Each structure stands twice: as C-alpha cells, then as structure tokens.
Amino acid sequence: MNVKLSNQPLALIDANLTLEFITPKGFETHPHRAILTQAGFKAEGEQLCTLHEHRLMVCAIAEDATAELYRATMANAIKAAMGFNYATLKIAQYGTSMFAPMIEGAVLGSYRFEQYKSETKPSALTQIIFSTENHDGTTNDFDELEITLNQTLIIAKATNFVRDLVNQTPYDMTPQAMAVVADTLAEKNDLECTILDVSSLEAKKMNAMLAVGRASHNPPHLIHLTYKPANPQKIITLVGKGLTYDSGGLSLKAATSMVTMKMDKAGACAVMGIIKAVSELKLDIEVHAFIGAVENMIGGNAYKPDDVLRAKNGKTIEVRNTDAEGRLVLADVLGYAQESVKADYIFDFATLTGACMVALGPYTTGVMGHNQELKESFVNAAEKAGEYCGILPFNRHLKKLIKSDLADVCNVSSKPYGGAITAALFLDNFIDEDMKEKWVHFDIAGSAYTESAWDVHTYGGTGAGVRMTLKWLMEQCK
C-alpha cells in the first residue's frame, strides 16, 4: 500500500474515494445526515458506512478519541475499502498528533500474507493520500507532516517485515534460512553480520543452545547483526529467541499445541525488524541484535529430561522438561552477547511462556526485570506506540521454585504457578551482575501471534515489540 502526503486542500486532491471520520456532534450538522441515517448510521461505536454515489466512506469516532482509537478505526476503514474497486483514497488530517496513528492503521491494517495461496486476491486500492488540510479547514506544515510520514512508514513497514518472517512455515524458515535473511538484511541496510555455525558454537561452549538443536536435521545458528552510527549516544543489545519450530522435544507437545509453533521465532524476528528500522531511521544509537536460531525436534540424539547442561557462563542447568527450551537457548545467547558487547542496556524478546498469556491475556506483552523505572519507561513507550504491556513482578520466593538439588538451576519451576516470572528468573542467572539493572525481559508469547483479527492485526504474526521498542529508542535520542 502506497501512502503519500499531498500539500493541497482535500477537495483538490484527485482520488476515487474520500474517507471521513465523524463524531456524534459532527453528525448533527453533516450534509449527508439524512441519507446516512436512512442507511442506519448513528455515528456510534465503530460504525462504517459507504455512500458509493458520493464516493464517500464515513467512520464513527468518539469526540475524545485517543490515538489508539484513530489507529484501529483507520485500519478497519482501510480493510473495508480494500473490498471495493477504488484505486485511490484520500483523507484529511484530524490533528497532527493523530497523523502517525492513522498512517500505522493504514499500513498495518492493509497487511496481507498470501505467500502460500495458489490464487491471491489483490486489492484494487493501491494508494492512500493524506491532505495537509485538517477536517475543519485549517492547514498544517507540510515539512513537519512529511517527517512524521517518513518515520512512521519505516516503523510500520518494519513491523510488516517481522510479520512476514513469523508467518513463514518451519519448512521454509529454518535456522539456516533465518541466517540468510539476516545476511541479506545486513547487505541491504549496511549492517555488520556475523553468523556462528555448529563448530563455532562448540568452540564458544554454547552447550545449552547446542543441546536444544541437537536432534534437528537443521543445525542451529547464532546471528549477530550490528548497526554502528558515527557518534552513538548509547549502545543497546537486543536478544531474540529464534525457535524456528518447537515440537517440545522429548517432552512432546500435544498435536493441537504444535499448530502455530512457527511463531516461536517471533522474538528473533522482532529484533531483526527493530535493527532494520533503526538503520533506516538513522538513529544515533549503536544496536546489536543477537539471535539464537534453533529447531527443537525429537530423535535418538535428542537432549532429555534429567540431562544436566553447562551453559556458556559456566552455570549448570538441570533439564526437567525439554519443552522449556527457549530459555536454554537464551541462556547461551545472553552470555555470548554480554561477552561480545559492553552495552548500556540489554533487552531480550521471546515467545517464552503460555503462563504469560494466562496472566495478561493474549494481547499484552509481559515486562520483567529488576529496574522498576526502566520497566515503566517501556510500558509508557508501548502505550504511545499502540502496544499493550504489563509488568510482572519478581520476588525471592518464586526464585526458590527453580532451585535444583542436582545442578545450579532447574529449567522449570517445581510448582505450576507464576510460570512467566520463574522463566524470567531463570534467565536472570545468565545476566551479569553489572547488567542486572540494565536488563529487561519481554515475554511476547501472547502478543506475537493471533488466530483472530484484532485492532490493526490480521491473522498471524503481529510484529509485537517492534513499535514500542522503536518508540523507546527514539525517545533516548531526544
């Protein structure tokens, strides 16, 4: 979908369809009130009505509508418009603070993943044109709006890039394929790219990660992408869980639970999307993205419950469940990342626990760590960016539940409660002491994938973590 800005009044822009937001108060004096009323339009809720004879689509919007509501309403309108035979659509401004959410609604709402369809259904709608004119006839500065447009398009397209990766099947998006994607991205966006294969992982003593991938025909890879501006204000490390498929290993998942497990790579995809956008936004922040790309399968040489693994940092892990594999991969990748880069902050993204969905629901990312102020800064950034986050608190009693009598730590809790938090507390064992207050763990198990459309999201990957992290990073550059 091509989104552009025109420095003209709305009436002078040539387009096939006009999109208009109407508040209940605005509906009282609307020139088409009578025919809209006849069509059942009341300017309530999320109503949409199209007057084809006037080439006009109207959307109900609350008087005090937030950016979130403008974003979602725009997405619904674009989805509806894509079902018509109009090639172009135009819309006025509704305040400069609503411009970015409306762009995101258009780009994210129009997303379709049709790679595996034998027959695609292309939409006739190819262009959305925003006027610099407000709906009330006042005008805005073109240059300021253009900056907003360019930045928002980079962020929205990076989110769709992540969605495309998450939606790839496990047959197509193997650990090797993920390494190829990273290498291609590095070449296109002028990033540095280092890829470690099995022999390199063995040399680095990354035994936990190797154990998880041992039974797969597709060997594991560690990917390190780097963006280095001339004078970075900060150095940020991002770590992504990249389980390209998770069968559960010998602790085999139920058949119904295996469906959608292609999404277990969403953390890795998110960090690739973030560094892609950072490089295109040209932020003055050095970013390192580390990805543990692994496939967890079964076989005669699979790692087993009762195994004890020695992670890169030397700590030993008692395995009691091979389906708690993502934290084993992250343990080694976190260790390698901290050894490789002295960063100001380290953030990891992982579809880590179903328990996070139990705690927060399917739309919200779990935020965990030791630094309350840092966690709250992400919750605030997420709210501005249009994502949902909730903080799950650590406590010393939950930490006791991953104690092992055999090794330094157990990979699952001894009780079936607080599973998202105990998983994060497991990761805490692999965060260096001087990074404890600079680390945040994001559990995107619920927010990274959806099987029913909501807000700006269609079926499949959502790109969770991308917009909120970019908002946070951009605020660090102010």
Among 205, 253, 310, 399, the one annotated catalytic: 253
Q: How many CB atoms lie within 10 A of CB 186?
A: 23
CA–CA dist 417, 151 (Å, integer): 42
Check if the beta carbon of residue 320 is closer than 8 Å to that of residue 410. yes
Among 214, 327, 467, 471, the one annotated catalytic: 327
Which residues, 6+ apart, have CB-to-CB distance to 287 below 8 Å? Answer: 226, 227, 235, 236, 237, 238, 274, 275, 278, 473
Which residues, 6+ apart, have CB-to-CB distance to 135 below 8 Å? Answer: 20, 21, 92, 93, 94
Q: Which long-range contacts (CB under 8 A, 24 or more apart) does 274-277 make?
A: 274/158, 274/238, 274/465, 274/466, 274/469, 274/470, 274/473, 275/191, 275/225, 275/227, 275/238, 276/158, 276/161, 276/185, 276/189, 277/154, 277/155, 277/158, 277/466, 277/470
Q: Could you give the 3-state DSSP secondary structure of residue 189?
A: helix
Q: How many CB atoms lie within 10 A of CB 177?
A: 18
CA distances to 23, 48, 63, 301 from 35, in Å: 17, 14, 22, 70
Check if the beta carbon of residue 49 is closer than 8 Å to that of residue 39. yes
327 noted as active-site residue: yes
CA–CA dist 165, 183 (Å, integer): 14
Check if the beta carbon of residue 239 is closer than 8 Å to that of residue 349. yes
Check if the beta carbon of residue 317 is closer than 8 Å to that of residue 410. yes
Place of tokens 């004879």: 53
Q: Which two tokens stand for residue 107?
A: 């780009």
Q: Which two tokens stand for residue 92?
A: 């006025």
**DSSP 8-state class, residue 252:** P
Place of tokens 């509806």: 80
DSSP line for 306-366: T-EEE-TTS-EEE-S-TT--HHHHHHHHHHHHHHH---SEEEEEE---HHHHHHH-TTEEE
438 noted as active-site residue: no
CA–CA dist 379, 73 (Å, integer): 23
Check if the beta carbon of residue 427 is closer than 8 Å to that of residue 334. yes
Residues with catalytic roles: 253, 327
